[in-house]
Structure 1
């Protein structure tokens, strides 16, 4: 548990003092990075339903678009996590958030870090999630595990991070968020 406490202290110590300015696109979203408080902590991820219009079948964090009734971006992350995998909002100890990241779909996505007790039962909403799995937290935060490719998109250079875990390809914004967290803690 000491490693998890070190992670929490280090994460909270390295929170960005000034948030990156959010572009006024009107499109904001949030994801929850659920850390499960185990002897060997894990990070909960989902495999999106293959029937979805966008990002079908991809590995993702629970999350999505902000709704008008969401009072904060944290409320968005908690609501979406409840809708997608039945994580009760009152069971999440919010540790903080990372600076928003721009998605290819034009959303400003704010990653919210939350600590969950080990005794929760998760239930995938089949219209959004095909499966739920866990990755050892410190494995996911190991920068050496990440590979990347550089591409040009709309004439701009982009780096796409990815890594494999137990047959799951974690890539794109999800991998970029974890990679950014690992860099911040390094």
Structure 2
């Protein structure tokens, strides 16, 4: 992909016509119950247009829901010098290692390595369908509950900042922007969910926003 500022791409639409996930569905008990059920639903965003010829790699991310009075989702801002997705908002996560037992093991290991989140503070609920990025990563999002008294120690080489966004903000499609860009004869489309965090704008877009959109679809399914 060319180097560009995604904020400069015009908004093609906002999904304010869709219902938000009810607050009573976002409690720890309700989240546990939902992941324990077998739901008939389909993810909305599963495959980005490829912009690389390298072999696909499996990866996993942790979608950490921090159990505050108003639950939040823990996110990171990647450092600017990284070769993949530098400077972007992301979940803790990364490439799977052969020693990892499953996607949850990858997500927990990467969360420890990136932000110092200890597994003893984490309750894994389950996984969402895989999301394939244009950079050829096959990502499994692992959703988990995180105790709010955890102490984080971000790795300064990989993580420029750690922050939290209210879960109810992310599960309200009135905050889901659609963007489109023509590049090399093809139209590329993505979601963005900008969040005002004090005097900072946390610009959540691309794969991270796509996985959150799928989480919304999972949570709103009957």
**Superposition TM-score, scaled by structure 1 size:** 0.88
1:75 alignment partner in structure 2: 105
Secondary structure, counterpart of 1:114 in structure 2: strand
The 10-residue stretch of structure 1 (147-156 or 63-72) with the greater mean CA deviation from structure 2: 147-156
The 10-residue stretch of structure 1 (110-119 or 141-150) with the greater mean CA deviation from structure 2: 141-150
Q: In the alignment, is residue 8 of structure 1 matched against residue 8 of structure 2? A: no
Q: In the alignment, is residue 110 of structure 1 matched against residue 140 of structure 2? A: yes
Question: Which 5+ residue runs of structure 2 have no aligned equivalent?
Answer: 1-22, 47-54
2:92 alignment partner in structure 1: 62
Moved over 2 A (4+): 5-20, 150-159
Contact in 1 for aligned 2:58/2:96 (Cα 8 Å): yes
Q: How many aligned positions are there?
A: 182
1:21-170 pair list within 5 angstroms: 27-151=57-181, 157-166=187-196, 167-170=201-204
- Whole-angstrom CA distance in 1 between matches of 2:92 and 2:61: 6
RMSD: 2.3
1:185 alignment partner in structure 2: 219
CA drift of 1:184 comes to 1.6
Greater length-normalized contact order (CA 8 Å, ≥ 6 residues apart):
2
CA deviation map 1:115-160 (0-9, x unaligned) = 1111011111000000000000111111110101134567655420
Point out the structure with max Rg over C-alpha. Answer: 2
Question: Which 5+ residue runs of structure 1 have no aligned equivalent?
Answer: none
